[in-house]
Amino acid sequence: MFPNVPLYPGFVMQRGGNMPVARRKVRLLCATMMLNVVIFFLVGVSWNLGRDKSDRPKVRIPSKRFWRKPVPSKYFWNKEQQRLDTIYNPIINSLPSDSIIELPDWLNDTGPVNPCEPDYRVATQISDYNTLPHRFQDFLLHMRCRTYPMLINQPHVCDQKPFLLLVVKSLIPHFDRRQAIRETWGRAGTLANRTVATVFLLGNALPIDHFPDLLGMLGHEAKLHKDLLLWDYRDTFFNLTLKDVLFLEWFSQNCPHAQYVLKGDDDVFVNTFRIIELLEGLSDIKAKDLFIGDVIKDAGPQRDRKLKYFVPESVFTGQYPAYAGGGGYLYSGELALRLHNVSRQVALYPIDDVYTGMCLKKLGLVPENHSGFKTFDIEEKYRDNPCVYRDLMLVHSRTPQDVLKIWPWITHPELDCQ
């Protein structure tokens, strides 16, 4: 019934064999093994007892704390980021609710009761605050505010769950730019058998910034085209970051099922056909973390006060992460939702494309460079070549007249670009 199978060395179960004899052999084997273990243990103990004390392993008792005491940065933005890093620290957040954690006052600083009230303490925390441009001062006073009333909304613009959402940053007076986009690359509906939706992002234009009162005309435009999103905040260059944050909040509530987002300025030209073609060829893995554009690396803050992108050292120090030029970039809808969540953990920064790069870094991602995005334009000799635009994704900058002229170049099939 049983084959001759060796169970242990020297022990073979035979057909019709004597079982009591087999059991005795197993017991003998087990006893031998236990004896070997005891002998090994006794030898080890005697060896350690015989060692010289100086040869024994030493236990190091730390004379200082295991952690460094947090020291506030001298630079305003960096200090704000230190505070947010503490608030969202996963170790601290995982502690029981009744745990008592003593943090330095500067890390517990919540500012004014209403974060959207001007925080005038900023003027005492930044050494050269009084010499900064007024719009920069305004940004710093309201840096912690991320919620503003929405004056015009389009809650149904994404009811068809668009394949591609075109998001255009604009200013109230730029009626001509928005109309040129609607008639060309930003036309909503079906394009290349894919559903496309378009929204324009706007902040309030205040008389203090020398803008005329155009809200009446804007209201008419909103009713006619149903593609304007307007918030009641001061629409300045340094508040473009705020425009991005408010859009991400709107997206999470009103358009979370859009598969892809292309965000650009209202003075760019976009080859929507090429964008859709690119997206249709992506794998699911590639699509999940998609973020492509004209990527800038190894950059840092400009210290020349005459430059548009000037940031004083008293506000920020350090290198910028890799980021895509704000003229236009393309990313997945899933990533847009993650950017919305992580943006709460990153202090607002006055340069919007750098801020987006900071949020990506917080997610452990790096934007991917794509040669079809030309946010610094193309060589002048190619600007009037119709065939060049057929291979591009996005080019900056173009006037409304340029946009209306270029669009037929890529839509007319009779154009021979061989």
CA–CA separation, 49 and 120 (whole Å) = 70
Q: What are phi and psi of 142, to 5 degrees?
A: -115, 25
pLDDT at 301: 97
The count of C-alpha atoms lying within 13 angstroms of the C-alpha of 133, restricted to the half-sphere facing its C-beta, is 16
| Residue spans of the chain under pLDDT 50 | 1-19, 21-22, 25-26
The whole-angstrom distance between residue 279's C-alpha and the CA centroid of its chain comes to: 20
The 10s digit of each residue's pLDDT in 240-253 is: 999 999 999 999 99
Domain locations along the chain: 1-30, 76-93+102-141, 150-411
The kind and range of the H/E element at 267 are none
Neighbours of 371 (CB within 10 A): 9
Assess contact for 152 and 160: CB atoms under 8 A: no
Output the CA angle 337-343-347, nearest 5 degrees. Answer: 175
pLDDT at 18: 46
pLDDT at 195: 98
Question: What is the full DSSP assignment across 2-54?
Answer: ----EEETTEEPPTT--HHHHHHHHHHHHHHHHHHHHHHHHHHHHHHHHS-GG
Q: Which of 325, 340, 296, 323 is nearest to 393 (CA)?
A: 325
First to last CA, the chain: 82
pLDDT at 154: 97
**Structure-token pair, residue 183:** 């008639």
- Domain 150-411 carries which CATH code? 3.90.550.50
For the entire predicted model, the pTM comes to 0.83
Assess contact for 149 and 191: CB atoms under 8 A: no
